């Protein structure tokens, strides 16, 4: 492992490894509809992907009373779970993870999903074996707080300069910055390329194939 620039590679899940952005957006919109709230547009619903529940709802459905957050969350979960096991990983993801693992990198997950939600997604895709550890928003301070990355680094005694965050949202990149960690952005997920570039990632790639190639050259 000593030959790697980055010993620990931490991936976001939704919109980075799994092609779930459209389902998340549709589920947020359907939940708002169920509660008789104004339905957020695609850009608004996409923006909150990866945030903790309170931050996400206060942005996506500002009219929602905090006392009703649990109801909104339940309706969102209902709609998301109706289709989530059919959502695919991005093409080439399994091969990329296998190659990185073979090269000796430690792989981790830092996600806004709940622990149960991530376990369900990992079971459906069969890729849990590639990851040494995960951090989820229900057991750790949510993005963009640095806690997920700090806990993963502490768990494996890896320094910030030997850690790389890979994600599709400005929340991922802001979390990395808050933890003193470098980041690579992927532009095929929830946030537009322009928003990602404002966070000055080491690279902003347009496909899993481009990500795999960048990591092979630079990680």
In the beta sheet, which residues pair with residue 10? 108, 165
pLDDT the model gives residue 81: 94
Q: Report how far residue 48's alpha carbon sits from residue 102's, in angstroms, rounded to the nearest whole number.
A: 34
What is the third-level CATH fold of 21-85? Answer: DNA polymerase; domain 1 (1.10.150)
User: How crowded is residue 217: how many other Cβ atoms within 10 Å of its Cβ?
Assistant: 8
pLDDT the model gives residue 1: 43
Domain ranges of the chain: 8-19+88-218, 21-85
For the chain, list residues with pLDDT below 50.
1-2
pLDDT the model gives residue 13: 98
Asked if 181 contacts 164 with a C-beta cutoff of 8 angstroms, the reply is yes
Question: What Å distances lie between residue 173 and 32, 107, 215, CA to CA?
Answer: 28, 17, 17
Total-model pTM: 0.96
pLDDT the model gives residue 85: 87
CATH number, domain 8-19+88-218, options 3.30.420.40, 3.20.20.70, 3.40.50.1000, 3.40.50.300: 3.40.50.1000
pLDDT the model gives residue 3: 66
Tell me whether domains 8-19+88-218 and 21-85 share a fold. no
């Amino acid at each position: 492992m000593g030959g790697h620039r980055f010993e620990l590679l931490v991936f976001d899940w939704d919109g980075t490894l799994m092609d779930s952005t459209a389902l998340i957006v549709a589920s947020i919109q359907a939940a708002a509809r169920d509660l008789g709230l104004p339905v957020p547009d695609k850009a608004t619903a996409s923006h909150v992907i990866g945030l903790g529940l309170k931050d996400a709802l206060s942005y996506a459905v500002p009219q929602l009373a905090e006392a009703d957050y649990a109801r909104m969350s339940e309706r969102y979960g209902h709609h998301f779970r109706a289709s989530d096991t059919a959502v695919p990983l991005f093409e080439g993801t399994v091969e990329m993870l296998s190659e990185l693992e073979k090269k000796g990198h430690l792989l981790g997950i830092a996600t806004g999903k709940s622990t149960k939600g991530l376990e369900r997604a990992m079971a459906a895709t069969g890729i849990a074996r590639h990851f040494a550890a995960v951090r989820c928003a229900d057991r750790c301070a949510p993005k963009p707080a640095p806690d997920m990355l700090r806990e993963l680094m502490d768990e494996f005694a890896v320094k910030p300069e030997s850690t790389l965050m890979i994600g599709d949202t400005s929340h991922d990149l802001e979390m990395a910055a808050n933890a003193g960690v470098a980041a690579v952005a992927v532009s095929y997920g929830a946030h537009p390329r322009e928003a990602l570039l404002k966070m000055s990632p080491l690279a902003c790639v347009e496909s899993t194939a481009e990500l795999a190639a960048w990591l092979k050259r630079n990680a």
